[in-house]
Every structure is written in structure tokens, then in C-alpha cells.
Amino acid sequence: MAPQAPGRFTRQPQPQMPQAPGRRPPRLPAPVKREVSESASRSSRLRVYTEAEQDDIGISTLLGEYTEQGVNHGYPTYQKVLENSDEVNVFVYFWDSRDGPEFSGWWFGDSVGGQQVWSRSVEKSEAADKAKVPPSRGWRVPWDAECVEGLLIVEVMDAMVQPVTNGPTPTAPTAPPPSKANKPQGPAPVPIITPQLIKPKIQPTDSDQSVMLERIKLASDRVAAAEAEVEQAIASTRRTLAAQELEESSLADADTALRSQLENVQNEQKQLAKELSEARAANCSQSNLGELARMMPRLRQSLVKVEAELAKVKNNLAKVRADAVLAKQRVEAVEAAAEAEQRDARAFQAALPEAMEIVTQAEDAVETVAILAAAMSVDDETDTSEAHQVQAIQDIETPAAYWA
């Protein structure tokens, strides 16, 4: 099957091992039957090491020596040489482009074409492609992360050719040219290339072992406590988000709690990385290093969970605050309109008496004009002389002019 990154490493009955987050697409091809290597005399081996000073992701799981075991998709496959039963099987193999170019290349996984993968090479090397061997550098750990230079280095040691690497090539001791009198019979012996990639380890004493086991137990307890606190904070956050009405204060409290857990997990990661570096410097056994390294993915998974919940809280908190701003603006608009209405009502009430007085005076003036105008009516007994009519007109114009 095509390689696929799992959610966690699984090995029964051994503890879980580190792995890359996320999963590859579910479509997988039919399992590929392993082929037999074309030439056993050209079988190669690998030495995998790192130039990193600290191990924050459990890279030690992949380090060590690998031997050629078969062929897959026309390229040799390699299996890690396990030093003890506590280690996990690791394979290095090539996958062609049958599932697309994004899955083509060299992989580290728990089996050839399996679903558990930990690293992938993105480097193209003409020498490596021609020799059909893994490239020296350009490995991503986890498989979907960015490539970190020197984090994982693969050196190919071939019995027939020089090592295929991008760095300095170790040189093998050479024998002086044979003389005619001492000419060897048959082919010359092939020199064994032994580059100094891994320093010899000093076996720890029983007291050192007991101290290391105690440190492993304390680290395990701390990681378990951090995981429990994270789960508790996440459960409380989800209850807050499930409420019918989200309150800003509750979301702010959840945001503070998750940020505190995020900081705690990050600090625990730094502490565990420091202990792992110290254990490696003290030449601890692979089993003890593996125990410490297996805790790192657990912390990383907790970190991913906290970051996911924190993102949800941030989005909801921003929405609640935006709604609160809009609600406040609507209330302010309503209050402003009510205040303007009250202000206009007060102004109207203040102007009303004066307006009523003006209206009353106008009505009186109209009535006076009407009364005076009646004097201009002509009947049989009315004096129609010109002088009388002029006097009547003047009597009407005088009060009208006054009120105008």
C-alpha cells in the first residue's frame, strides 16, 4: 500500500511511537510484493544520523544502521538493525509516482508501503537516482513538515562503490600496490568502509540506569499530568462554546485558560527535549532514549488540541465582541433619536404660548377688520357721499396697518 501518515505510531505490545501528524489520502494501491535484489554482491547498507544538538521530535527512533532487505518499485529497501527488542521496526523504501508525484520518493516507515510514515525526502540527486539509493539530505521530519538542514542525514555504504552522500565522503584505507613477486591471486579484497558517524558508547552502570529510570518515570508523570490538564481545559471550553448564548466574559476566561495550558505544554516540551539531550550525552541505552522520545509526540498532540480549541475560542470571542459593538451602536442611535425628539418637544412647548398669543392677536385683528369692513356696506339709509366712504376706508386701513 502507499505510505500514509497516521495519527499515532502503533506497535503491539510495545508503547506508541512518534509519528507525523495528519493522514495521507485514503486511496491506497494494492500491496506490492517484495522482489529479490538483483545482485546480492552489491547489497548496500545505510547509516542514519543527525547533526541536530537537540531532539525535540523523537528523531532518535530513525537513527542507526540499516541493511538492504529487498526491492520495491525497482529500488532497494532497507530495514533498521535493532539493538534491542524495545525498538520499533523502521524501513527505508522508494515509492514511484503511481499515486501521484506528491507521494513519489524515498520514505521512512514502519513497513514497506505501510500506513505509518515518519519522514520523506524532497531532494533530487542525480548520483543517488543513478545508483538507486536514498539521498543524503533533504529529509522532512515529520513527513509533511518543512525540511530542516542537518536534522536527518542518510549515508549509503555500498560494498562495491563509494558512499553516495552530499557531504564529505569517508575514505577507506588503501593497501600499497602489489609487486610482481608478491602479486595476489584472484580479485583483490574489497576494503570495508567504516566512517566514524556514531561514537562508541560507554555502558552505564547500574546506579546510572536506576537514576535514568527514575527520571523517565518523573517525565512520564509530568507528561500525563499535562495531558490531563489539557483535556480538562478542553472539556470546559467545549461546554462554554455549547451554551445557547455566548458571553464575552466566559469566552475570555476560556481563552486565558487555554493560553495557560499552551504555555505549560511548550515548557514541558522544552524540559523533555533538554532531558533527552542530556540522556544522549550520557550515552544512555536506546531503550531509555526511546522511552523519552515517545513522550514528545504526546506533548505535540496535546499542543495541537489546545491550539485548535484556542482558535475556536478566538473566533467566537471576536464575533461576540463585534456583535456587542453593533448592539451598542444601535442603542446609542435609539437613545440619540429619543433625546432629539424630547429636545424638539421641549422647544415646541416653550414656543407654544408665544405662538398662541400671536394667533389670538391675529384673530382679533381679522375680526376688527371684518367689523370695520361692514361699515362699507351700502343700504338706503347709509351716507354714500365721497367723504363718508373715504373715512370708512381710512378706519379699516389704520388697524390693519397696525397688525401688519
Do 228 and 312 lie in one domain? The reply is yes
In a domain, 31, yes or no: no
Exposed (0-12), middle (13-18) or buried (19+): which is 98, by Cβ within 10 Å?
Answer: exposed
Residue 237 has pLDDT above 50, yes or no: yes
Q: What are the C-alpha distances in Å from 129 to residues 74, 75, 94, 148?
A: 12, 10, 11, 22
Q: Are residues 49 and 134 in the same domain?
A: yes
* Residues 135 and 232 reside in one and the same domain: no
Tell me the C-alpha distance between 366 and 356, whole Å. Answer: 15
Number of domains in the chain: 3
Q: What local confidence, expressed as pLDDT, does residue 246 receive?
A: 85
What's the pLDDT at 65? 92
Query: What is the rounded CA–CA span in Å between residue 90 and residue 204?
Result: 26
Question: For residue 403, what pLDDT is reported?
Answer: 59
Answer yes or no: do 222 and 135 share one domain. Answer: no
Please give the pLDDT value at position 37: 42
**What span, in angstroms and rounded, lies between the C-alpha atoms of 278 and 289?**
10
Q: Which domain holds residue 106?
A: 40-158
In a domain, 226, yes or no: yes
In this structure, the answer to whether residues 53 and 129 fall within a common structural domain is yes
3-state helix, strand, coil in the chain (%, to 5): 50, 10, 40
Q: What's the grid cell of residue 359?
A: 394667533
Q: Please check the confidence at residue 185 and state whether its pLDDT lies above 50.
A: no
Amino acid at site 24: R
| pLDDT in the model for residue 370 | 75
Asked which of 319, 344, 378 is the last residue of a domain, the reply is 319
**Stronger pLDDT, 392 or 110, i.e. the higher one:** 110
State whether 69 and 133 are in the same domain. yes
Query: What is the pLDDT averaged over residues 261-290?
Result: 87
Query: Which residue in the block uniquely carries the three cell numbers 508503547?
Result: 15
Whether 138 and 246 map to the same domain: the answer is no
Q: Which residue has the cell 608478491?
A: 182
Among candidates 85, 35, 90, 36, which has minimal Cα distance to 62?
90
Question: Count of CB atoms within 10 A of residue 357's CB?
Answer: 10
Spatial contact of 64 and 83, defined as CB atoms under 8 Å apart: yes
Distance separating alpha carbons of residues 135 and 156, to the nearest angstrom:
8
Taking 50 as the threshold, does the pLDDT of residue 41 lie above it? no
How is residue 77 written as a grid cell?
529497501
Dihedrals φ, ψ of 111, to 5°? Answer: -160, 165
With respect to residue 10, please indicate whether it lies within any of the assigned structural domains.
no
Of 40-44, 175-179, 311-315, the poorest mean pLDDT is in 175-179
Q: Specify whether 293 is located in the same domain as 219.
A: yes
- 5 within some domain: no
Q: State the Cα–Cα distance between residues 298 and 314, nearest whole angstrom.
A: 24
Q: Are residues 243 and 146 in the same domain?
A: no
Report which secondary-structure segment, H or E, holds 255: helix 248-281
- Residue that has been written with the C-alpha cell 388697524 in this structure: 399
Cα 284 to the chain's mean position, in Å? 33
Q: Give which of 240, 235, 279 is closest to 261, Cα–Cα.
A: 235
Domain shared by 142 and 226, yes or no:
no
pLDDT of 276 strictly over 90: no
- Looking at the fold, whether 314 and 356 belong to one and the same domain comes out as no
More confident residue, 59 or 181: 59
Q: Does 11 map to a domain?
A: no
Say what the pTM is: 0.39
pLDDT bin (cut points 50, 70, 90) of residue 176 is very low
Q: Is 311 exposed, middle or buried (CB count within 10 Å of its CB: 0-12, 13-18, 19+)?
A: exposed
> For 109-129, how does the pLDDT look when each residue is reduced to its tens digit (9 = 90+)?
988 888 788 899 877 777 777
Instruction: Kindly list the distances between the CA atom of residue 70 and the CA atoms of 24, 78, 92, 138, in Å, as whole numbers in the listed order.
Output: 25, 7, 11, 24
| Residue 93 reports pLDDT greater than 50 | yes
Residue 335 within a domain: no
Burial class of residue 78 in the structure, from the number of CB atoms within 10 Å of its CB (0-12 exposed, 13-18 middle, 19+ buried): buried
Q: Residue 153 gets which letter from DSSP? A: E
pLDDT at 232 over 70: yes
Could you say which of 278, 301, 319 is where a domain stops?
Answer: 319
How many whole angstroms separate alpha carbon 198 and alpha carbon 195? 8
Instruction: Answer yes or no: is pLDDT of 206 > 80.
Output: no
Mean pLDDT of 28-45: 49
Q: Which of 14-18, 47-51, 264-268 has the lowest mean pLDDT?
A: 14-18
Q: In what order do the strands lie in the sheet with 64-72?
A: 139-140, 117-121, 105-109, 91-95, 75-80, 64-72, 44-49, 153-158
From the list 293, 289, 297, 298, the residue with the least C-alpha distance to 212 is 289
Average predicted confidence (pLDDT) for the chain: 75
User: What's the mean pLDDT in 305-311?
Assistant: 92
66 domain residue, yes or no? yes
Using left for φ > 0, alpha for ψ between -120 and 50, and beta otherwise, residue 360 falls in: alpha
Question: Which of these, 53, 3, 55, lies nearest to 25 by C-alpha position?
Answer: 3
Domain boundary among 158, 190, 216: 158
Sorted by sequence, the CB contacts under 8 Å of residue 16 that are 6+ apart come out as: 8, 9, 10, 294, 297
Residue 115 lies in a domain: yes
